[in-house]
Structure 1
Amino acid sequence: MEPVNKETTITNGSEPELYQRTTISGTKSEVFCVKFAPDGHMIATGCGDGSIRIFHSASGRLVYQFAAGDANAFATTSLAFRSPVAGSKTRNVLLSGNAEGYVQHWHVTSGKCLHTIKEEGNEIYAVQYAHDGSKFATAGKDQTIRIYDEATKTRTLELTDGFADVTSGHFNRVFSLCYHPTDPNLLISGGWDNTVQVWDLRADHSVRSIYSPHICGDSVDIDGNTVLTGSWRPENQVQLWDLRTTELERNIAWGNPSSLNGKNTMVYGCSFGGEHGKYIAACGSDGNQCKLFDRNSGEILGSLDLPSASYSCDFAPNGRFVAFAGDTNDIRVCDVVSTLEQRQ
């Protein structure tokens, strides 16, 4: 990776700077979601003009481009790469969801659309594969979580309800989905209704709820028995929760507001990264900051102050790099290791 032109970097001088390796320009539209490929060599972006653009992560070169849905005017809102350990011989499969209700499978290297599902009357805000690639989930405007079999592309389950008086299920839009990394029967979802729901696919309903997080993007993640949430609000944005008890483990203090406008950042995207999820990346709007945290200490390891909102972030599989993308039409790839070395 070549160093970024530092003139494009705006930093908060009171906090350590995130080390930018590459700024990828060329999306021609705001970026609502960004995902590294399983091997880390490509970065996929879902854009406001409906296009899906794939870039080489080291050089920033545009290598593939295709559009989802029947009309490019509907934004591509969510992406998920299928695990390379899936049973199919086809590799480089990308799942997309868009605001017209289309869920599509793409073969990245050929640009072919392999399969299309239309969820009538829905807008898709989240798609996610199970870690073994055997099934995938969708969620969005209609508050329903749908589970599909990857081999047949048939819907196997719809999740809407809670359990007795313990949980309620979702009653507003759902923006984030996350499968448990070791238990394929547990799925986590978060949305506008200030809840994170824990679904047991064997029980067909939500079995636990976390109350308080206001989820407006891909900002729910899980590592072991710890759930990470990023909330679109000016305080208590980044939080860690115990999956088993649904109790708050700790708040990760956001730190200083933006040096550009003095506002606090409201979080749209956050994720665990690195070995054993030892880092947390988060980004958002209003304050328009991107930050990297140490999960255990809560220390801010690096920060960027940007001129407009960031909607999504994702770690490379090896945890060395993290990408941020949003309203500036750029993808900023930051080097986690170099960020830490700069601080020494």
Structure 2
Amino acid sequence: MSDSDLSEIEEETTPVGTLSGPEPTKPYEPPHVENYTPEHELYQRTVISGTKSDVFCVKFAPDGHMVAAGCGDGAIRLFHSASGRLVYQFSVGVAQFATTSLAFRSPIAGSKTRNILLSGNAEGYVQHWHVTSGKCLHTIKEEGNEIYAVEYNPEGSKFATAGKDQTVRIYDEATKTRIQELSDGYANVTSGHFNRVFSLCYHPTDPNLLISGGWDNTVQVWDLRADHSVRSIYSPHICGDSVDIDGNTVLTGSWRPDKQVQLWDLRTTELEKDVPWGNDSATGKATMVYGACFGGDQKQYIAACGSDGNQCKLFDRQSSEVVGALDLPAASYCCDFAPGGRFVAFAGNYNDIRICDVVGTRESAKQ
């Protein structure tokens, strides 16, 4: 089924206005740990408890009215952001391989069809979903691969995939055909990836640049005109969706007990600064980061989350101070800012999604 077949389908959801909603359920209370002083707590605006499974990826819809969860049981579940009500559910794959990555297509894309969601799973399937009709528009099978990352370019005209086989593939959105495979480096400057790739990020203003990060302790900068990596950042250990870019600054979140959150110069690949994690968690362990992203109206915040310490944190990008934190009962795998950056969602191995108030937390932290 093509996009054109759905161009006349009416929207099935009722507009829900701004993200507000009921008070959250009682927050998790961490165990007592001697000499542990919790940092300012993020205000949990909504706790969505209907995921029924681990959540490996979470994404807000472009209008912020829905939040999508890619789950360990293979399903994709979409919830009303304010009320937490389950709105849509897609069961992906007979064998129920985990849905590992999601990306909404930009509403500025050329197609008349809105509400397109791209998914990737651990069985190697990449699928296009028309959210409001529940129809799967197209399926691509990358044989022998496990998909860990999918991403649209800002115009929605292309999408990229990456995963177990170390190769980044570029597809044309209109035809769904593969137009590029990226695996090689450039001369003696870069080598490309040589292990699993977990994160992809298009440059927001340069359509020729794509960033990827993985298990091989590198972040690769790909020039799509050259068909190979042109620069590499060495050191970040990427194990989830934890690479982001704003202007000439690259954010990385590493799954390790120190130097988890770092900012890098895209042009020189030099380290701009470490963002200190701050207090250890109530578990007494450091948090090893799985998810990280920029957010806020001017991308002035950094959200990050992970395992072991099981913390989620919000940082001021300029000062590196911790604006707010959550101590959770299990690992967090992913995070995402709502459009406009007023809210941030965290999810993971505790079968719910926590939507937190960025602005309210920031203002209360100043008091």
Going from structure 1 to structure 2, the CA distance change for 1:248 and 1:161 (only over 3 Å counts) comes to same
Relative to the length of structure 1, the TM-score reads 0.98
Query: Which residue matches 1:50?
Result: 74
Aligned-residue RMSD, C-alpha: 1.0
Q: Percent identity?
A: 80
Which of 1 and 2 has greater Rg? 2
Superposed counterparts of 1:20-169, under 5 Å: 20-72=44-96, 74-169=97-192
Pairwise CA distance, 1:196 = 0.0
Match of 1:5 in 2: 25
Counterpart check, 1:287 vs 2:304: no
**Distance in 1 between the 2:218 and 2:308 partners?**
22
> Who is 2:41 aligned against?
17
**SS of equivalent residue, structure 1 residue 338:** helix
- Residue 10 of structure 1 deviates from its aligned partner by 4.3
1:7/1:325 CA distance change after superposition, 3 Å:
closer
5+ long unaligned stretches in structure 1: none
Q: Distance in 1 between matches of 2:69 and 2:252?
A: 22
The structure 1 residue matched to 2:344, chosen from 302, 316, 322, is 322
The corresponding residue for 2:281 is 258
2-structure distance, mates of 1:217, 1:207: 23
User: Are 2:353 and 1:331 equivalent residues in the alignment?
Assistant: yes
Name the CA distance, whole Å, in 2 between partners of 1:24 and 1:300: 25
Q: 2:17 matched to which residue of 1?
A: none
CA deviations 1:83-120 (Å, max 9, x no partner) are 00000001000000000000000001111000000000
Gaps of 5+ in 2: 1-20
How far off is 1:67 after superposition? 1.8
Q: Distance in 2 between matches of 1:3 and 1:179?
A: 36
Q: Is the 8 A contact 2:37 2:279 kept in 1?
A: no
Assess if the C-alpha contact under 8 Å between 1:41 and 1:58 holds in 2: yes
Answer yes or no: is the 8 Å Cα contact 2:190–2:231 preserved in 1.
yes
**Matched residue SS, 2:159:** strand
Structure-1 residue corresponding to 2:294: 272
What is the CA distance between 1:13 and its match in structure 2? Answer: 4.2
Q: 1:258 is matched by which residue type in structure 2?
A: S
**Letter matched to residue 3 of structure 1:** E
- Residue type matched to 2:334 in 1? S
Aligned to 1:340: 362
CA displacement at 1:9 relative to structure 2: 5.2
Once residues 35 and 248 of structure 1 are traced to their aligned partners in structure 2, the CA distance between those partners, rounded to angstroms, is 28
3-state secondary structure, aligned to 1:276: coil
- The residue number in structure 2 matching 1:207 is 230
**Contact 1:68/1:104 (<8 A) preserved:** no
Deviations 1:48-94 (A, max 9, x none): 0000000000110000000223432x000000000000000010000
Measure how far apart 1:221 and its partner are.
0.1
* Structure 1 CA distance for aligned equivalents of residues 74 and 344 of structure 2: 24
**Preserved CA contact (<8 Å) 1:10 1:304:** no
Partner AA of 1:299 in structure 2? E
Give the conservation status (yes or no) of the 8 Å contact 1:9–1:304. Answer: no
Query: Aligned letter for 1:333?
Result: I
Rounded to whole Å, the distance in 2 between the matches of 1:9 and 1:293 is: 22
Contact 1:234 1:266 in 2 (8 A): yes
The question of whether the paired residues in 2 share the 8 Å contact of 1:269 and 1:284 is answered with yes
CA contact (8 A) 1:271 1:280 kept: yes
User: What is the rounded CA distance, in whole Å, between the counterparts of 2:160 and 2:92 in structure 1?
Assistant: 18
Partners of 1:10 and 1:93 in 2: CA distance: 39
TM-score, normalised to structure 2's length? Answer: 0.92
Distance 1:47 1:252 in 2: 30
CA distance in 1: counterparts of 2:83 and 2:64, whole angstroms: 12
